[in-house]
Amino acid sequence: MRYGGIEAGGTKWVCAVAEQPGQPLEIVRFPTTAPAETVARAARFFTEQGPIDVLGVGAFGPVDIHRDSPTWGTITTTPKPGWGDTDLTGALTSALGVPIALDTDVNAAALGEWRWGAATGLDTFFYITVGTGIGGGAVTGGRILHGLLHPEFGHMRIPHDRARDPFDGICPYHGDCLEGLASGESIRRRWGRPGPELSDPAVWELEAEYLALALVNVICMLSPQRIIIGGGVAKQSALLPLARRRVRELLAGYLRAPELTDPDAAEGYIVVPRLGDRAGVIGAIQLAYEAQEAAASSSGLSGRAGG
Binding site residues, a copy of itself, CB under 8 A: 62, 76-77, 123-124, 136, 138, 140-160, 173-174, 213, 216-225, 250-257, 259-260
Question: What is the smallest separation between the CB atom of 50 and a copy of itself, expressed in angstroms?
Answer: 36
Spatial CA neighbour of 137 closest among 103, 110, 177: 110
Question: What is the smallest separation between the CB atom of 82 and a copy of itself, expressed in angstroms?
Answer: 18
Phi, psi of 185 (to 5 degrees): -65, -35
**Is the four-CA dihedral 250, 253, 255, 257 of positive or negative sign?**
positive
**Is the four-CA dihedral 22, 28, 30, 32 of positive or negative sign?**
negative
Residues in Cβ contact with 25 at an 8 Å cutoff, skipping those fewer than 6 apart: 16, 17, 18, 19, 49
Question: What is the smallest separation between the CB atom of 259 and a copy of itself, expressed in angstroms?
Answer: 6
* Minimum CB distance to a copy of itself smaller for 47 or for 223: 223
Whether the Cβ atoms of residue 36 and residue 83 lie closer than 8 Å to each other: no
Question: What is the smallest separation between the CB atom of 246 and a copy of itself, expressed in angstroms?
Answer: 11
Spatial CA neighbour of 230 closest among 144, 141, 145, 108: 108
Compute CA 256 distance to the chain's CA centroid, rounded to the nearest angstrom. Answer: 29
Phi, psi of 290 (to 5 degrees): -70, -35
- 202 vs 233: CA distance, rounded Å: 15
* Minimum CB distance to a copy of itself smaller for 14 or for 178: 178
Question: What is the smallest separation between the CB atom of 139 and a copy of itself, expressed in angstroms?
Answer: 9
* Minimum CB distance to a copy of itself smaller for 160 or for 278: 160
* Minimum CB distance to a copy of itself smaller for 94 or for 223: 223
* Minimum CB distance to a copy of itself smaller for 50 or for 147: 147
Please, what is the angle between helix 184-191 and helix 201-222, to 10°? 150
* Minimum CB distance to a copy of itself smaller for 227 or for 239: 227
Question: What is the smallest separation between the CB atom of 214 and a copy of itself, expressed in angstroms?
Answer: 9
* Minimum CB distance to a copy of itself smaller for 11 or for 225: 225
- Report CA-CA distances (Å) from 175 to 46, 204, 208: 39, 20, 19
Question: What is the smallest separation between the CB atom of 144 and a copy of itself, expressed in angstroms?
Answer: 8
Spatial CA neighbour of 38 closest among 10, 17, 19, 62: 10
- Measured from the Cβ of residue 307, the count of other Cβ atoms closer than 10 Å reads 18
* Minimum CB distance to a copy of itself smaller for 4 or for 283: 283
Question: What is the smallest separation between the CB atom of 138 and a copy of itself, expressed in angstroms?
Answer: 8
Q: Order of strands, edge to edge, in the sheet holding 134-140?
A: 143-144, 134-140, 125-130, 227-230, 270-271
- Measured from the Cβ of residue 263, the count of other Cβ atoms closer than 10 Å reads 11
